[in-house]
């Protein structure tokens, strides 16, 4: 099986968007995943709902949005990691997430058990 870096990146992006849409009824407008050595980094754009956009205009609202998103991410971290594991064939060692209430972007970082970038290069 010939692995394609671009194909894996696109599949991870699409699967994470679908999962978020299924989970909260709205997904990001755009996502791009990057395989960098032993990391997968996904950048989501347009993640804030209409309500969240209103909330982040106030200091307390910013804190609430970040807390709510952090709780949701923690609740479903196993599902996020399972998606990455299934699509990459790698074990996720840890994952990290943050949201910018300023830009409406979110980032997901998955640390995996091998240098997937090098593995793909050596097997293509």
Residue 1: pLDDT above 60?
A: no
* Per-residue model confidence (pLDDT) at position 2: 54
Query: Among candidates 118, 88, 99, 123, which has minimal Cα distance to 110?
Result: 88
Q: What is the pLDDT of residues 95-113, one digit of tens each?
A: 999 999 999 999 999 999 9
* Per-residue model confidence (pLDDT) at position 55: 95
The residue range of the domain holding 53 is 5-122
pTM: 0.91
- 8 in Cβ contact with 88 (< 8 Å): yes
Domain count, the chain: 1
Scanning 25-115, the segments in alpha helix (DSSP H) are 50-55, 59-75, 77-88
Q: What is the pLDDT of residues 8-28, one digit of tens each?
A: 999 999 999 999 998 878 889
């Amino acid at each position: 099986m010939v692995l394609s870096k671009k194909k894996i990146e696109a599949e991870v992006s699409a699967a994470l968007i679908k999962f978020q849409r299924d989970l909260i009824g709205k997904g990001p407008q755009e996502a791009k995943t990057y395989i960098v050595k032993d990391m997968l980094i996904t950048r989501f754009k347009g993640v804030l709902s209409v309500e969240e956009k209103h909330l982040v205009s106030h200091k307390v609202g910013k804190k609430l949005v970040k807390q709510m998103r952090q709780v949701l991410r923690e609740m479903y971290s196993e599902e996020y990691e399972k998606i990455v594991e299934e699509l990459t064939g790698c074990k996720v060692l840890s994952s990290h997430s943050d949201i910018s209430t300023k830009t409406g972007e979110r980032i997901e970082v998955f640390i995996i058990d091998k240098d997937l970038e090098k593995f793909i290069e050596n097997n293509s």
